[in-house]
Amino acid sequence: MKTILVWDLPLRLFHWLFAFSFAAAWLTAESDEWLSLHAFFGYLMLGLIGFRLVWGLVGSRYARFSSFLYGPRAGLDYLRASLTGHAARHLGHNPAGSQAVYLLLGLGLLAGFSGLFVQGGEEQHGATAGAFGYVVGNLIKEGHGFLANLMLLVVFAHLAGVALESWLHKENLARSMVTGLKAAEPGTPAARPNRLIGLLLLAAVTAFGAGWFFYAWHEPVERMGGHDDAAREAPPVAFVGKTLPESALWQEECGSCHLAFHPSLLPARSWQSLLAGQDRHFRDDLGLEAATVAKLLAFAVPNSAEQHASEAAWKINRSVPADATPLRITETPYWVKKHREIAAADWKNPKVKSKANCAACHQDAEAGTYEDAAMRIPR
């Protein structure tokens, strides 16, 4: 027996990145707050599977599908043989392990693509935005979740199989997937290392990740994959983002001269300062009673920019220097940056009138979500 290379570098990288992206996507599905990350891992997984399909045709010896073209029946037979303790050792994928490979690739594809449609339907975000509405998106989500759970089951079966095989043939299969090496009879052909392609794969994944997060820094991640201009002009459904808490009193007292700016658009200290100065509110005396002010603060402070994960809240809060207390949303650096490129003529449009007339351009201004899909400059 001598040690030879069985799993080439691209295959090993694929294996671990695929496992990682699935695990990460599974974990980030937990909360909507991580939706952007979840979508990222989904796209990553789809890209990896795409690579694997190609590599199954042109990769090195043991990576090729032709080296483990076993049907389900062969897989079952092999499993039975393993359980009774006399299954033959395979250098590449054994017939039962091959079933796991095909199932995981297939389920990964289905889960990934269904995810694209959930995102497009429910959120009106991503590559399939506008393909259908919320209801269909929500239905697909049921299937998406089911597929992901099924995939997790197959992962567990795969892990059990690896453990069983390792024990039966007294070799550490997991370590082989790291080093690529396995013991073989002299004269057995080894795999080509394909280091360059492995490095290219790694570079592509890194660039994709970096690009995504760089983009996310400036733009909502959800928009990745492209909202076309038509969708911008007319959102396919009136966009309803993650709903933020509302207050009837806030609406009543702060929503008649201008729209009731959602408290998540300024830090708590700004609201405290605005309400302390309510008798000099942009040259108006609001004439509010102390009890009313206290109730308004009790809504504004726990819902201020620090407290919400909506994109606008998070970015506005991050943009305001710690020693500043802006009294206008329209003076926060993030707001200024986002609106810098709007033409002077658009601001002068009588339908807009004031920078503070957010609802003129943002259909969801009352809700405070400020989704891209809900934005339209009146012309």
Contact status: 259 vs another protein (CB under 8 A): yes
Part of the chain binding another protein (CB under 8 A), chosen from 41-49, 93-101, 120-128, 255-263: 255-263
Of 22, 41, 78, 261, the residue at the interface with ligand HEC (CB under 6 A) is: 261
Nearer to ligand HEC, 2 or 280 (CB): 280
Do 308 and 264 contact (CB within 8 A), yes or no?
yes
Nearest to 159 by CA among 104, 105, 112: 104
- Positions in 333-372 near another protein (CB under 8 A): 350-354, 356-357, 359-360
Contact status: 231 vs ligand HEC (CB under 6 A): no
What is the CB neighbour count within 10 angstroms for residue 88?
A: 10
- The site map against ligand HEC for 299-328 (x = CB under 6 A) is ------------xx---------------x
351 binds, among ligand HEC, another protein, none (CB under 5 to 8 A by kind): another protein
CA pseudo-torsion sign 91, 96, 102, 103: negative
Distance CA 304, CA 266 (A): 6
What region, left, alpha or beta, does residue 187 occupy, with left being phi > 0 and alpha being psi -120 to 50 degrees? left
Nearer to ligand HEC, 8 or 222 (CB): 222
Contact status: 239 vs ligand HEC (CB under 6 A): no
Distance CA 51, CA 54 (A): 5
Part of the chain binding ligand HEC (CB under 6 A), chosen from 109-117, 155-163, 193-201, 253-261: 253-261
Of 153, 210, 257, 336, the residue at the interface with another protein (CB under 8 A) is: 257
CA pseudo-torsion sign 224, 228, 229, 232: negative
Nearer to another protein, 33 or 284 (CB): 284
Contact status: 364 vs ligand HEC (CB under 6 A): no
Nearest to 128 by CA among 230, 229, 211, 226: 226
Least distance CB 284 / another protein (angstroms): 6
Place of tokens 């079952």: 76
Nearest to 22 by CA among 98, 92, 115, 86: 115
Of 192, 269, 295, 355, the residue at the interface with ligand HEC (CB under 6 A) is: 355
Which residues are at the interface with another protein (CB under 8 A)? Answer: 256-259, 284-287, 350-354, 356-357, 359-360
